[in-house]
Amino acid sequence: MDAHWSEAAHRHFKDAGVVQVGYVPDAGLSKLIDRCREDNEIDTVMCATEEESIGLAAGAWLGGQKAVVLMQSSGVGNTINAIASLISSAKFPMLAIVTMRGEWGEGNPWQVPMGQAVEPTLNAVGVKTYRAETDEDADKMIEAGLRMTYSSDQPIAVLIAQRLIGSKVWKAGKGDGQ
């Protein structure tokens, strides 16, 4: 068993032949992003907004490369038209790994509405969602998700539950203001 789900995720990327990883950073993704950035065989592309990563993944597939996109739940809101009108319209494969906010011990009320809207909005534009509550869930879902994405030309999102990532405690006057 891996110490952290990101180790399994990276291993599955390698086994599946994923080359491009498009991402917008999130604290819950930092281990996986670091692991991909340190891997010389993976081409990481830092995007300014999550919508860009959807186009990147489609372009990679046009050229014969597999891609994965990484984003926080808030970023899902930025991807919806790109997924609906590009990925779903042209039947592109797409695997997204989404780290969740706004659902488990959330301390920032501004994160809650988008966090709660992630599954219904993704489902509405044709993306199948798997929810990972444990490291083992994440391991199996990313492995199965990659297989289904690239064998069956499906858009799939693996949602990493906030309960698994851990929620931040917000307190005025403490810490570094992150």
Partner 1 sequence: MSGLHRREVLKSAFAERGDALAISGLGSATWDLASLGDRDDNFYLWGAMGNAAMIGLGLARARPDKRVVVITGDGEMLMGLTSFTTIGAKRPENLAICVLDNERYTETGRQPTATGMGTDLAGVAAACGFPVARTFKTEQDVAELGALLFKQAGPVMAVVKVVDESLPMAVPPRDGGYLKTRFRSRLLGVGAATMP
The one among 1, 3, 40, 64 contacting partner 1 by CB under 8 A? 64
The 157-176 contact track toward partner 1, x by CB under 8 A, reads --------------------
Q: Is 116 in the site for partner 1 (CB under 8 A)?
A: no
Can you tell me the distance from the alpha carbon of 113 to that of 74, in angstroms, rounded to the nearest whole number?
9
Does 45 participate in binding partner 1 (rule CB under 8 A)?
yes
125 binds partner 1 (CB under 8 A): no
Question: Among 6-14, 89-97, 112-120, 130-138, which window interacts with partner 1 (CB under 8 A)?
Answer: 89-97
Position 48 contacts partner 1 (CB under 8 A): yes
128-132/155-160 β-pairing:
parallel
Residue 54 interacting with partner 1 (CB under 8 A): yes
Tokens of 167: 């929620």
Site for partner 1 contains 124 (CB under 8 A): no
Instruction: Mark out the alpha helices in the chain (DSSP H runs).
Output: 5-16, 30-37, 50-62, 73-76, 80-82, 112-124, 135-152, 162-165
By the 10 Å C-beta count (0-12 exposed, 13-18 middle, 19+ buried), 43 is classed as middle
